[in-house]
Copies of this chain bind each other. A is one copy, B any other.
Amino acid sequence: MKDFSPTARTRIKRLPGRARYDRDTVYSILDAGFICHVGYVIDQHPYVTPTAYWREGDAVYWHGSSKSRMLVALEKSPRVCLTVMHLDALVVARSGFHKSINYRSVMIFGKPYKVTEPEEKLAKMEAFVERLYPGRWPELRPVNKQELKATTVLGMHIEEAVAKVRTGPPVDDDEDYALPIWAGLVPIRQVAGQPVDDGRLAQGAPGAPRVRL
């Protein structure tokens, strides 16, 4: 499939060297996370709601209660911006001006649509569970009709996309490198801790599932 092209909305003017429009980069940043921030407009006012998402092919999906105000608003939105950001490091420079962060982010634009066909909806819910907990779906109590009805799944074909990436050490002014000030990177990452059993675990229940952050 073709890479994305810069559009009026996605062309990076400031520090264009950080911009990426290739599908590999955009998809790999999307696939490295599961929490996005969805931006939408109601009565000309911007709203940003964090939610879980997953990618399949050239679309992203997210879901929630059919009663969710966010999902109802999104379904009617002609345009949505979905942003994902991974913080990789604090970039510690020799001056306050040159401090920075290393990150990978993606901003995508599109128009959400509702996944209505029950079988497809169920398949999407499975894909989401499998994204976070590989192999878990068959072990769960199956989703029933009522639950399927109470869940809204939105999809959004990725129409426009831009990734931004900063890597590497601080970039200080030439004369500042001689100063006896510490500079470098402080790596940051998100980690999963020891699973905590639910207090009402049934006898014979297996251990915690594998989690893929």
In the complex, A144 Cα to B142 Cα: how many Å? 63
Q: Name the B residues within 8 Å of A176 (CB-CB).
A: 141
Could you give, for residues 180-213 of chain A, a 1 whenever the CB lies within 8 Å of some chain B CB and a 0 otherwise? Answer: 1111111111111111111111111111110101
Could you give, for residues 159-175 of chain A, a 1 whenever the CB lies within 8 Å of some chain B CB and a 0 otherwise? Answer: 00000000001100100
Q: Flag if A143 contacts B95 (CB, 8 Å).
A: yes
A92 at the interface (CB under 8 A from B): yes
Q: Name the B residues within 8 Å of A191 (CB-CB).
A: 188-191
Q: Write the residues of chain A forming the contact surface with B, with a CB cutoff of 8 angstroms.
A: 9, 13-15, 35, 37-41, 44-50, 52, 65, 67-69, 77, 79-83, 85, 87, 90, 92, 94-97, 99, 101, 103, 105, 107, 109, 125-126, 129, 132-133, 137, 139-144, 147, 150-151, 169-170, 173, 176-209, 211, 213
